[in-house]
Amino acid sequence: MDKKTSGQVQINNLIFTNNWEDPLVDEKVMQIEKGDNVFAITSGSCNALGFLRFEPANVYCVDINPTQNYLMELKQAAFRRLEYEEMMAFFGVFPSKKRMEYYHILKKDLSENALQFWDGQSSIICKGILMNGRFEKFIKMAGRTIRIIQGQKKTKNFFELNDLEKQSDFYFNHWNNRFWKWIFALLFNKKRLAKKGLIADYFHFDDGSSSFSESFQKRAAHAFCDIPAKENYFLRLYLLGNYDIKETLPPYLQQENFSTIKSRVDRIKTVTEDSKYWLEKQPDDFFDALALSNICELMDEKDTEKLFSEVLRTSKNNAKIVFRNLMIPREVPANLQPNIIKDVELSRHIQYLDRSFVYGKVAAYTVSKP
């Protein structure tokens, strides 16, 4: 290990059971093709499983948090062993009283550590795993509060609107009231979010906001007014806590993709390690596409430079990278920017299109090697 770097912050709780990065944004940037080697942060596993549609050779899912990889193991096992309707019931998208029965089918595919972890999580399994990570539990609590204050009927009616003009009118004339602003102040302050899996020291602001609640409210307004509601399952999860299976699902949960992902699910390789030190052990010129999420917010600037140095070394020329910030502004270090080049126009475009809307920055880069 490089003694000059301190290492990424270690987390050991099951923080996410969904990806909160928009997979369509990732895919637009990464341009995954048949035979590619892909690097991704495991997180909630959704996006990496969806990448299999493009027939990569391998998707290396790396996470410093072992429980996120245990989640990936469980989702992989569900694709291998269950039929589509059974998998959706097990995950919690469809109602079911048979989830423990399904789990006993899946157990044989789990590593010893994953098995030990999931054997102790019967409550999560019985409820359905997809909305029961630490962050998802917070989201459900926040959604219940919003529906109580804004009204159940009004909240559901928003998702029936069929054009952006109606959505904008709804937001400014019916939704954006003093209760809405109070909700952000109550639920989206740094102390409360820290208790739900986000670190209080994350929250610094480079968008003109004086608080996380103000910054997040700006992003929410964009999601309400500028992105078609029926296509935005992220906003539905935030407000209603469930998917609308008739309208939109993440690619990995769509029935038309089930057989393809099932046949390729073993191409996902999970790694529990600090990303930069794992990359340090990989060969030069190996990766074609990388999804880094916002992991640099768990690192200081020296560690960030170490990570991107390894990203540059292990990436092929013309490799594509998608990189996010939640709140702390992190950028490719200046000395590496001539070779990890930000596509300013594409970055602006994907930031606008991002259905998840929680990230302060979503940016696209291309590797250019000398």
**Residue ranges per structural domain of the chain:** 134-240
- As a whole number of angstroms, the distance between CA 296 and CA 363 comes to 13
Do 75 and 107 touch, CB atoms closer than 8 A? no
pLDDT at 20 over 60: yes
Query: Which residue type occupies 16?
Result: F
Give which of 236, 119, 225 is closest to 176, Cα–Cα: 225
pLDDT at 203 over 60: no
Please tell me the pTM assigned to this model: 0.91
Rounded mean pLDDT of 300-319? Answer: 96
- As a whole number of angstroms, the distance between CA 162 and CA 179 comes to 25
Q: How confident is the model at residue 121 (pLDDT cuts 50, 70, 90)?
A: very high
On average, the pLDDT of the chain sits at: 91
- As a whole number of angstroms, the distance between CA 338 and CA 334 comes to 8
Lowest-confidence region among 103-107, 124-128, 148-152, 194-198: 194-198
Tokens of 246: 């008739």
pLDDT at 7 over 70: no
Secondary structure (3-state) at 116: helix
pLDDT of res. 202 = 45
Provide the edge-to-edge strand list for the sheet that holds 58-63: 268-272, 58-63, 37-41, 287-291, 315-325, 361-367, 340-342
Contacts of 104 (CB under 8 A, 6+ apart): none
pLDDT of res. 80 = 98
Q: Which of the pair, 328 or 274, is modelled with greater confidence?
A: 274
Residue 290 φ then ψ, to 5°? -140, 135
- As a whole number of angstroms, the distance between CA 283 and CA 205 comes to 37
| Distances in whole angstroms, Cα of residue 304 to Cα of each of 276, 287, 296, 300 | 9, 19, 6, 6
Q: How confident is the model at residue 88 (pLDDT cuts 50, 70, 90)?
A: very high
Per-residue burial over 58-70, b = 16 or more CB atoms within 10 Å of its CB, e = otherwise:
bbbbbbbbbbbbb
Q: What percent of the chain clears pLDDT 90, i.e. is strictly above it?
A: 79
Do 297 and 269 touch, CB atoms closer than 8 A? no
Give which of 89, 82, 75 is closest to 45, Cα–Cα: 75
Q: How confident is the model at residue 300 (pLDDT cuts 50, 70, 90)?
A: confident
Rounded mean pLDDT of 65-80? Answer: 98
Q: Indicate the helix (H) or strand (E) that contains 172.
A: none
Do 360 and 207 touch, CB atoms closer than 8 A? yes
- As a whole number of angstroms, the distance between CA 253 and CA 261 comes to 10
DSSP state of 21: S
313: left (phi over 0), alpha (psi -120 to 50) or beta: alpha
Within 227-315, residue ranges assigned H as helices are 233-240, 258-264, 275-280, 301-314
- Angle, helices 66-81/112-119, rounded to nearest 10 degrees: 90
pLDDT at 179 over 70: yes
